[in-house]
Amino acid sequence: MFIEYKVSNFLSIKDEVVLSLDSTASSKLPGNYFHELDYKLLKTAAIYGPNASGKSNIMKSFHFALDIIRNSQQYKVDTRFLNIPFLNDETSRSEPSKFEFTFIKNSTKYIYGFSILPEGIVEEYLYYKPEGENKKTFFKRNEGSKGKRFKFLLDRKDQEKWGKETIKQKLYLPKAVNDYNYGKMKEVYEYLANDLIMVLQVFNPNWGKYTRERMISDERFKKWCLDIIKKADFGGIEDIIVKKEKRTLSGIEFKLEGESFQSKPMIKKEEEYFDLDFVHLDEKGDEVLFKENMESTGTNKTLNMLGPIYDIIETGKTLFIDEFELNLHPNITEFIIRLFHSKQNRKNGQLVITTHDTTLLKKSDLFRRDQVYICTKEPNRSTDLSCLVEFDLRESINFENAYLNGRVGGLPFIDESIIED
């Protein structure tokens, strides 16, 4: 279960920002949190703020760090990493970017982090805390030290050998697990590689393909999707018929060569595609079939999302989505958030979003103060992330009014002199 993420010196982020799903002591909306070890963890969180405040950069940093972890084995001695520090400060330009993940897996709390420069890893560490015990060190790594690069407290003989074989461009955690099959850190790597799902573009075309494929193979999942679509009131859809078919593509292929277009017959090829029919009832109660392109964009995009969301809820993973509300009606975004708060979320899947949809804040039974973050950035300054609990606000207050009235920051300053007469 996800607890906390920290990042510093990345794009618009200079000083450390912290995104935490560790709740406060408030007992408001008990369906919005769950208990794990000594923690009361939130099921959802929303990040608000104007354009260019750094909301997406927080998500990008998360994606960047996970990408380094998941692809570390491919890096070589000549690999150079993207130069992504905070550039508006002379000192920061030469400092490493830092990332840290805190989470719970199988009743053990883990803290894993690393720092990186374009030429390679600077620092890496893993701590763990089994239930009822004190925090312990798995390993520490410091590439700038004059003494030992690594410090190991478990299985030292083996790990010291593996550490010597770890080049500066590779993280030790994935190498120990994948190259040496070190089982004691396997669940840490697998959590970071598989349980944190980051989506920078909410309507990834692979989502639709996955959802349709599963609707064909899993009747229980299809029934769940249909139930969601019905409850979300998408125009009286009674059923969804999904078929996987093949079609042959042919025709004329146009190609720009130099300054002129050239055409030639397209080589015939066969491809698989999904044919969807949405079943409605006419005035007499008879079935009428609507093709996918006859349904609304919101209907199709919501359906596309249901496959990945179902997996998150069924497996207890954590989903991060940037610009969550894009092309969705506010009622649908609210519905999906409530889905995570509902009893259907038996495995305590978690959802973290960035959004501009302030209508979500006016619902007193949707979010607690500790679930709402405000992202701010003044011109030529760094991104700051604050939680509503840091402000003098009552739980019963209208969060939307507090946000739109500027009481918690995060609003764009618009100079309207250009449109004045």
Calculate mean pLDDT across residues 294-316. 86
102 or 381: which carries more pLDDT confidence? 102
The answer to whether residue 81 scores a pLDDT higher than 90 is no
Q: 193: which 2 tokens? A: 């590689």
91 or 215: which carries more pLDDT confidence? 215
Under the banding of pLDDT at 50, 70 and 90, the label for residue 128 is very high
Calculate mean pLDDT across residues 104-130. 93
**What are the chain's domains?**
1-202+322-412 (3.40.50), 203-295 (no CATH)
Q: What one-letter code names the amino acid at 155?
A: D
pTM: 0.84
Task: Say if CB 318 and CB 196 are below 8 A apart.
Answer: yes
Task: Say if CB 139 and CB 125 are below 8 A apart.
Answer: yes
- Taking the C-alpha atoms of residue 179 and residue 198, their distance in angstroms, rounded to an integer, is 26
Return the pLDDT at 200. Answer: 74
The answer to whether residue 153 scores a pLDDT higher than 80 is yes
Mean pLDDT of the chain: 84
Return the pLDDT at 263. Answer: 67
Q: What one-letter code names the amino acid at 120?
A: G
Mean pLDDT lowest for which of 53-57, 68-72, 169-173, 325-329? 325-329
Which strand ranges, in their side-by-side order, compose the sheet holding 239-249?
Answer: 239-249, 269-281, 287-291
Model pLDDT for residues 234-278, shown as the tens digit of each residue: 778 888 888 888 766 666 666 666 666 666 776 666 677 788 888
Model pLDDT for residues 9-47, shown as the tens digit of each residue: 998 888 899 999 999 888 899 999 999 988 999 999 999
Model pLDDT for residues 53-69, shown as the tens digit of each residue: 788 889 999 999 999 99
Under the banding of pLDDT at 50, 70 and 90, the label for residue 406 is low
Return the pLDDT at 83. Answer: 74
Under the banding of pLDDT at 50, 70 and 90, the label for residue 419 is very low
Return the pLDDT at 416. Answer: 42
The answer to whether residue 208 scores a pLDDT higher than 90 is no
Calculate mean pLDDT across residues 109-136. 91
Under the banding of pLDDT at 50, 70 and 90, the label for residue 413 is very low
